[in-house]
Amino acid sequence: MRHMDKAYRPEIADELEHTRENLMHDQLSSARKHLGIIKREIDQVTWMPTLDDLHKFAADRSRNRKIDRKGLVADLKRQRVWGDIGALKSALIDDLRRELNTFAREVMADIESQKAEQ
């Protein structure tokens, strides 16, 4: 759009600025960043070397208000994976993947509803 303005074609830039795709750009960029964060957390869990690191990660995750996983540690203990590094990694990765998939579904549903409105 800046290029169009510089090339003395501001009417094209104005037209592009108000397209549906351009208006969704910010939402999609934010979603991409959030999904990237979750994927990095999955990688972190995969490569955590000790059980203490995993315990700290699970405790931090359960205290995070944005995620709303207050019962995560209790769930992991109830599943009897708290003391097994392999099982704990698997359970945490499953939890992260559920969050990733839920978030992706919500974003796609929101985009579809925006497309339907226009």
- Domains of the chain, by residue range, sit at 35-117
Residue 8 has pLDDT above 60, yes or no: no
pLDDT at 104: 95
Q: CA angle, 36 as apex, 89 and 112 as ends, to 5°?
A: 115
Surface-to-core class of residue 6, CB atoms within 10 Å of its CB (0-12 exposed, 13-18 middle, 19+ buried): exposed
pTM above 0.95, yes or no: no
pLDDT tens-digit map of 74-113: 999 999 999 999 999 999 999 999 999 999 999 999 988 8
pLDDT in tens, 14-73: 666 666 666 677 888 999 999 999 999 999 999 999 999 999 999 999 998 777 788 999
Separation CA 90–CA 100 (nearest Å)? 15
